[in-house]
Amino acid sequence: MSRRIVAAGNWKMNMTPAQARELMEKLIPLVKSDDKDVIFCVPAIDILPCLELAKGTNIKIGAQNMYYEDKGAYTGEISPVMLRAAGVEYVIIGHSERRGYFGETNEDINKKALKAFEHGITPIICCGESLEQRNQGITIDWIRQQIKTAFMGITDEQAKTAIIAYEPIWAIGTGQTATTEQAQEVCGAIRDCIAEIYDIPTAEAVRVLYGGSVNAKTAPDLFAQPDIDGGLVGGASLKEEFGDIVKA
Quick one: which segment of 102-110, 138-146, 184-192, 212-220 binds ligand PGA (CB under 6 A)? 212-220
Angle between helices 180-197 and 139-150 (to 10 degrees): 40
Identify residue 48 by its one-letter amino acid code: L
Closest distance of CB 93 from ligand PGA, Å? 12
Helix (H, G, I), strand (E, B) or coil at 216: coil
Nearest residue to 89 (alpha-carbon basis) of 62, 113, 112, 114: 62
Work out how close the CB of 149 gets to ligand PGA at its nearest, in angstroms, rounded to a whole number.
20
Stretch of 15-23, 151-159, 190-198, 207-215 lying at the interface with ligand PGA (CB under 6 A)? 207-215
Straight-line distance from the first to the last Cα atom of the chain, in angstroms, rounded to the nearest whole number: 20
Least distance in angstroms from the C-beta of 120 to ligand PGA: 23
Q: Is 133 or 202 the residue whose CB approaches ligand PGA more closely?
A: 133
Strand-pair category, 59-63 with 207-211: unpaired
Residue range at the interface with ligand PGA (CB under 6 A); choices 47-55, 151-159, 219-227, 229-237: 229-237
Residues 144-203 that bind ligand PGA (CB under 6 A): 167, 172-173
* Contact present, 152 and 110 (Cβ < 8 Å): yes
User: Which residues here bind ligand PGA, judged by CB under 6 A?
Assistant: 10, 167, 172-173, 211-214, 232-236
